[in-house]
Every structure is written in C-alpha cells, then in structure tokens.
C-alpha cells in the first residue's frame, strides 16, 4: 500500500467474505484479490497490502472490519474484535 492509499483510507465497514478471485500480482510481486462480500458488493485489494497474505486464513471467514480507500479499494481488513481493532479503545486498568 502506498502513502496516498494509506492517507486516503476513510471508510470502515463490517463485511463477510463470500468468495475471492485471485488477480495478477502487483508490480512488486505481491498478491491481489477481488473480494466478493455476502452483501453482493465487491472490491479489489490495494496493491502490496500485507493482509493479502493471510486473506485465506480461517479467521478471515467471519465478520471483518474492512477499511476502504476513497477510490474503493480495500486498504486493510481484520476480524471484528481482534486485538488490533481495539488498539484505540481506552481500557480501565483496575
């Protein structure tokens, strides 16, 4: 993911993957996918996005927090409730 895509990642939605279509690799040789969601929408992953290496893992089969760029590409996705998704939530240490 380049800096422009990172800066423009604006929309986060909860989605469930229905199917994946493998696309040609990015110019740097990293995997890319068209992701089809259960709500009948689809989007292409951003070039060189690290999460693409784990997109076939079992934990990516439930509800996902999906971050879209303004251009409609998927900048990032992770399971809802994962540790990374909760990093900006303050917790009471007591």
Check residue 74 and give its pLDDT: 96
Confidence class of residue 81 from pLDDT cuts 50, 70 and 90?
confident
Domain ranges (residues) in the chain: 3-81
Q: 48-51 — which CB contacts under 8 Å span 24+ positions?
A: 48/1, 48/2, 49/1, 49/74, 49/75, 49/76, 50/1, 51/76, 51/77, 51/78
Q: How far apart are CA 29 and CA 51, in angstroms?
A: 14
CB atoms within 10 A of CB 10: 10
Predicted TM-score of the model (pTM): 0.75
- For 3-81, CATH gives 2.40.50
pLDDT greater than 60 at residue 5: no
Confidence of residue 83 (pLDDT cuts 50, 70, 90): low
């Amino acid at each position: 993911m380049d800096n422009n895509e990172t800066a423009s990642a604006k929309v986060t939605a909860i989605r469930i993957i229905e199917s994946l279509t493998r696309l040609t690799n990015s110019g740097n040789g990293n995997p890319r996918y068209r992701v089809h969601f259960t709500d009948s929408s689809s989007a292409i992953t951003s070039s060189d996005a690290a999460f693409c290496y784990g997109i076939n893992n079992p934990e990516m089969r439930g509800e996902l927090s999906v971050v879209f760029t303004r251009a409609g590409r998927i900048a990032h996705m992770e399971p809802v409730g994962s540790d990374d998704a909760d990093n900006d939530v303050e917790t009471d240490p007591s």
